[in-house]
Amino acid sequence: MTTDPSTEGGCVPLEDAKTFLSRRLKEVAALFFKLGCVAFGGPAAHIAMMRDEVVRRRRWLSEQEFLDMVGATNLIPGPNSTEMAIHLGHLRAGWQGLLVAGVLFILPAMVIVMAFAWIYVNYGATPEIEWLLYGIKPVIIAIVVQALWGLGKTAVKGLVTAVVGAAVLLLYCLGVNELLLLVAGGLAVLLANTSWRLWSGGIAGLVLLPLATPVILTVSSAAVPFSLITLFGKFLKIGAVLYGSGYVLLAFVRTDFVDRLGWLTDQQLIDAIAVGQFTPGPVFTTATFIGYVVGVQAGVGGFLAALIATVGIFLPSFIFVALLRYILPFARRSPWVGMRQ
């Protein structure tokens, strides 16, 4: 038997299983393609729209189940709203729903951003486009600053996180590798909050932070030759380790593509973030724009590079959500992973 909570008795005959799955896949496809086309405003707004659709209107799950799902997606790196779409698709229609929901939530934004990237590359030097981007940039910078301020107030929950955050900021400005800081910062807070033997206020955690992060300075050098494999690898790494929100993407992309590889200028980076902001769907489609621009500059084709960059940054989210169903029961029982301040 195949269960369906929306039908009386919650079951459908086995012979109707294919029709049942097909109907659910169509529901998933229609919903997340629509959201991919109209979901403006960033992850918080996207998740609010999903809640309205799947809890209030369609009643696919309860309010508490939805909140549990939001909490689960916060345990894994990557774009939270995209991972919510993937998770909801899996809940509604299994593995096929997982793929359909994720792809159709990303696809409209990817196509729109790719169109803007084509206009940018071909007409970005015209006075009209230059003035448009000139007017947008201060707004985007203000949005990013406001978002970082809001994220800071959410993330800094006590003396330990405040001290570790300040130390991480200082070391990052000195050129320490951001991945090492990410791991060491998490370990410092974890140790400071799970062992009473640590010094009061988490000072030992702060001491552990610089010890655990050898200073790997970013060395300015000539631009690294372009490679599609490197492009894919960089965005795959970002998608696999980035916690927080799409705004944190700015620091990772600048370090890799501006400072280390020399494939982008700071102006192009701000333009990429701007396009990611005023288009619908995931902010991570900024990768689509960057892939297109660097692909054209390297002469390998903008559309191919944009597609590779997009797949690279979103692929980890599909894998993490697929694994989450196995990891979540352990995480709920673990005092280390599930601790609260």
pLDDT along the chain (341 residues), means of 10: 47 65 91 91 85 92 87 84 93 92 95 93 66 58 55 59 69 61 64 53 45 44 81 94 73 88 88 83 91 93 95 95 78 55 41
Give domain status of residue 30, yes or no. yes
The sign of the dihedral angle between the CA atoms of 118, 275, 126, 293 is: negative
- Determine the pLDDT at residue 330: 66
Amino acid at 265: T
Give domain status of residue 32, yes or no. yes
H-type helices in the chain, by residue range?
17-38, 43-51, 63-73, 80-123, 127-155, 159-173, 178-194, 203-212, 228-241, 249-253, 266-278, 286-298, 302-333
Give domain status of residue 81, yes or no. yes
Give domain status of residue 139, yes or no. no
CB proximity list for 328: less than 8 A, separation 6 or greater: 72, 75
Angle at CA 204, nearest 5°, toward 198 and 209? 135
Range of the domain at 63: 2-108
Q: Could you tell me which of 93, 71, 107, 120 has the C-alpha nearest to residue 332?
A: 71
CA distance 249 to 284: 8
Q: Could you tell me which of 228, 231, 281, 227 has the C-alpha nearest to residue 253?
A: 231
Give domain status of residue 193, yes or no. no
Task: Give one DSSP letter per residue of 90-152, joined into a string.
Answer: HHHHHHHHHHHHHHHHHHHHHHHHHHHHHHHHHHTTSHHHHHHHHHHHHHHHHHHHHHHHHHH
- Determine the pLDDT at residue 12: 52
- Determine the pLDDT at residue 304: 95
Give domain status of residue 152, yes or no. no
- Determine the pLDDT at residue 341: 41
- Determine the pLDDT at residue 139: 56
Give domain status of residue 9, yes or no. yes
pTM to 2 decimal places: 0.72
Number of domain units in the chain:
1
